[in-house]
Structure 1
């Protein structure tokens, strides 16, 4: 009996090895048709670990992903090569110079879920064999030379979520594609005629622009001569204007009162708390310390007499936007729950003030007295990542963040955090990374604010750490955060960028078996079920561009950052390189 089982195991190993060898032979046959200097595939090197763009399954016995964008391939896609990878799920050959028809033997790729062939020179009619790929979720054939009609047989792709056929030469009428899971379609810039089928009328008109389509039927008019949609939009806009006007009056009337009321805590007979430069005299109430060697010309009275509004209240204090008489704008943060003395406070401010980087919010000055501890920062007019991601969701006037903007935000924030971790001889930490502490500069790159405050403030309650969704599981005292817990928090921000979901609200609303589940845990569970596409923000998926491949890469980076064991998390320098490499191949 033991010999029998041993023989079975040996047979299984031989079959697996032979299958992997067959996959390797198929790829080598594919590569032999081209002369590409960017790939260094070697038959003697490990296939699953050393071959650029190739990914194997967990068992390491089959190839499941081939990603070869912009590597210089040209000519026909060689038949009976790629199609021999029977376990292939993900294929990207975008941004090459492939010509001719799509090989008919692609029908053998029964397990394929993602097919990216955009930005090539493929031509001819769309082959009917595509409808045989029943597991296909993403099909991007944009920016090619395909012609003929769009086959009705595509309705058979019942798992399809994204269909991009833009910038080709398709003609005829758009078939009535009954695709229940379709969340994004782009048929723009073809030669299509007729009307938009009822099944596709839920998508934005931009998805069909650049064709010769006739207009949809006009909507029924209201008694005022307006369409129902226009009437409702006008009514909604009027309501919003009323609310906004009332809010503006409240801010204008009470904004300055609130900041002056918070800061003035002295008797009228006491001298005012003057803010002087580093070389100035120290008053009884404390002094303001400026950074950067500049001689600032405002003091506390200037701030209190300027127009101010409350930007927000957080665990570390209240933040005000202050518009000075010289038209400049700064942010003043009044710190609460400071648990260190003057000396330690000033030492920490000095370390923060010396952390200068374009992706780190600049600490301009600080102020310490018995009653008030203040930090003065640069002001970012584009607001925070939290506001851009979650503000006005579901409102018709909201301008969503596209994928390019989110990638720039992630890149900038990673650069900023890498600089922070270099401070204090490589031991500096942030301690409170979240989307409301990441601001957007003029080019939409992320800039990290509120750095280094966690170590001088009272530790946040354990319940706050658990429900915020940002803190690493090992952190029980926020004053004892580490660089690895910073990486965890940054990973949550990456997941927030990808999903559009707030970690705090996710922790409250998503439960499994009666227990709360934070954003990171929810994404792990979804990805484990191979429902990766379900996690992405619909605001990104509804925009054209075909960036899901890059989003999947960012998702893997985010999941690595939120590893439950801190020793398994990458350093932020490694994270930064991975993010910057997402588009490396395309820019070579």
Structure 2
């Protein structure tokens, strides 16, 4: 065949291959489209996916590859999906790399054909009602790196087949109905984040490969060993190969044996010793009584040991009305009669009140922390509402306490809760401030705050709250101080959810040395060992954790009762490192398209604030300035979106 003819044949074959490949790609995208529409009809009839569209690549939550030939991501967090995911839907998206259906109401089991998605790297199904066991085909997802099945109704045991998923870096299975034991030979070499907490039917020993994980990853289970208490061997001892001969009874002791009974000399010695011990005890009691009497005679008139502490009445604020203190009248009046009284700082209040007025106030508990308990007290007739902080018992001198409170009261800023008065006695210490805001940020994000319920906070509201808090902390730093205990429960949000007040500033330095910290929360900077010396850089770290909490909707470790929490900086860095950044954000803000860029900018700022090395963190003044720019941009974008929607 002539060379020219050969060239023509090769060119024709090449064109045919290209046409065939293009047709195949078109068929694959058509198959993906059909699978998505079947998925919509089954669980998401409200999804705005147009059946007449030529391509699904522009649909909400759908992302295609660079050539637009295959669907590689389906991300529908909090999209009000309801029901069972049938086979032939998600399982037919064979090029899928990311699947996120978290925070919906999906039921039934995990689709049995999920194993067809061999390209899957990230699977997020947490926060649904999925039940049953993990299907066998699941373990063919050999490229899977991130798996979150938490907060479902998954049952059965944790299969040794998980060992096939060699690339798995995140495995979250908490808050399910798993049972049995963890595989003793569990070996996932790249595993970084792991949690099986609150599966109360899990028993046995923690595998050696998981012994380095935190105890919180196994809380609420019957597991033992590793970071938990040691396992006890409850199995019965193995029987002896041959019966042992009966133990012969001891020979009867002779009456003249020295060991059969005590001699007269021994008895006399015991009696003398007991008498001596009794005399010593009586002498100690007399000495203590004498010293107690001397202390009472020399004590100033303003301290009465027999009087009931004033804060006992304030502490009874879980009831509707606060009962009158049982202290003697002289303890509740003025210093003219030698009594302690409420001391106002910065002038008298607009609505006059005194200690006796507080004792008659109706009150409720707002929160409890390691430094004390906070109450909302409504004065008689509703004349005013104040916040009362009952500090934990701490041996601090009155002069030191008074001077420190005066310094705290001198800090006045629109984003700081103003301190108005204090009460000091040897046993009780109270701080009274204006009652501001509608509830703590922690309660609005996670619930569980008494009358304050979890709120639907959009990104704009969260950014504005962050800006107000940042300005308050920046003001404290500008005055040469540090806060020392920044956390979401110390940020009070206003009623319109567009501003906030910072509370409890300076209390960690005031009482930190005297009040032991029972557990280290996820807010504390890694370099902090003494709360009295918490630096401004440590404040920046804690504020960065709060930003991560606001963006992710997840509480830090040991921060919120009823939540296990995670090491937020570590978790976010792990997820972002694997380029699954969209999975970081709380489901309630993840779909705010107009704010996507600003959410990423705030996330980047939060990561900078939580740098391990203090000198690499920005200052709070810089943090406030950058958040202000983010807020301005997101508000401007929202206004443009509103204008466009009206113009159409």
What interval of TM-score do these two structures reach, taking the shorter chain for normalisation?
0.5 to 0.7
Cα distance, 1:398 vs structure 2: 5.2
Aligned counterpart for 2:577 among listed residues 521, 525, 528: 528
Counterpart of 1:412? 468
Whether the aligned pair in 2 keeps the contact of 1:256 and 1:304 (CA below 8 Å) is: no
Q: 1:507 to 1:284 in 2, by over 3 A?
A: closer
Deviations 1:448-504 (A, max 9, x none): 001111111133646622xx1001011111111111111111010000001111102
Cα distance, 1:150 vs structure 2: 2.8
Cα distance, 1:293 vs structure 2: 5.2
Whether the aligned pair in 2 keeps the contact of 1:413 and 1:447 (CA below 8 Å) is: yes
Q: How does 1:194-205 map to 2 (within 5 A)?
A: none
Q: 1:256 to 1:160 in 2, by over 3 A?
A: closer
1:577 has 2:625 as partner: yes
In 2, distance between residues paired with 1:556 and 1:506?
23
Whether the aligned pair in 2 keeps the contact of 1:488 and 1:563 (CA below 8 Å) is: yes
Counterpart of 2:53? 150
In 2, distance between residues paired with 1:364 and 1:253?
19
Cα distance, 1:161 vs structure 2: 2.5
1:271 has 2:320 as partner: no
In 2, distance between residues paired with 1:255 and 1:320?
7
In 2, distance between residues paired with 1:517 and 1:417?
25
Counterpart of 2:616? 568
Q: 1:480 to 1:264 in 2, by over 3 A?
A: farther
Counterpart of 1:108? none
Cα distance, 1:568 vs structure 2: 0.9
SS in 1 for 2:364: strand
Aligned counterpart for 2:502 among listed residues 448, 472, 488: 448
SS in 1 for 2:492: strand
Whether the aligned pair in 2 keeps the contact of 1:285 and 1:370 (CA below 8 Å) is: no
Whether the aligned pair in 2 keeps the contact of 1:384 and 1:436 (CA below 8 Å) is: yes
Q: 1:254 to 1:373 in 2, by over 3 A?
A: closer
Higher RCO (C-alpha under 8 Å, 6+ residues apart): 1
**569-578 or 378-387, larger mean C-alpha shift:** 378-387
1:181 has 2:95 as partner: no
Counterpart of 2:604? 556
Cα distance, 1:523 vs structure 2: 1.2
Q: How does 1:363-374 map to 2 (within 5 A)?
A: 363-374=419-430
| TM-score, normalised by the number of residues in structure 1 | 0.53
Count residues in correspondence.
Answer: 354
Aligned counterpart for 1:464 among listed residues 512, 519, 530: 519
Aligned counterpart for 2:588 among listed residues 522, 539, 545: 539
Counterpart of 1:437? 490
Counterpart of 1:123? none
SS in 2 for 1:303: helix
In 2, distance between residues paired with 1:340 and 1:484?
27
Cα distance, 1:549 vs structure 2: 1.6
Aligned counterpart for 1:284 among listed residues 308, 315, 339: 339
In 1, distance between residues paired with 2:395 and 2:321?
22
Whether the aligned pair in 2 keeps the contact of 1:431 and 1:452 (CA below 8 Å) is: yes
Cα distance, 1:284 vs structure 2: 2.7
Deviations 1:403-424 (A, max 9, x none): 111111101000111111122x
Greater C-alpha radius of gyration: 2
**550-559 or 442-451, larger mean C-alpha shift:** 442-451
| TM-score, normalised by the number of residues in structure 2 | 0.48
In 1, distance between residues paired with 2:374 and 2:320?
11
Cα distance, 1:510 vs structure 2: 11
Aligned counterpart for 1:255 among listed residues 314, 317, 330: 317
Q: How does 1:325-404 map to 2 (within 5 A)?
A: 325-327=380-382, 328-391=384-447, 399-404=455-460
Whether the aligned pair in 1 keeps the contact of 2:319 and 2:364 (CA below 8 Å) is: no
Whether the aligned pair in 1 keeps the contact of 2:322 and 2:362 (CA below 8 Å) is: no
Deviations 1:281-334 (A, max 9, x none): 684324422424546521111111121112222111111111112412111111
Stretches of structure 1 that go unaligned for 5 or more consecutive residues are 1-127, 133-146, 164-174, 186-201, 203-251
Counterpart of 2:149? none
SS in 2 for 1:311: strand
Aligned counterpart for 2:369 among listed residues 314, 324, 343: 314
Q: 1:376 to 1:254 in 2, by over 3 A?
A: closer
Q: 1:454 to 1:158 in 2, by over 3 A?
A: same
Whether the aligned pair in 2 keeps the contact of 1:338 and 1:458 (CA below 8 Å) is: no
Q: 1:300 to 1:286 in 2, by over 3 A?
A: closer
In 2, distance between residues paired with 1:341 and 1:506?
31
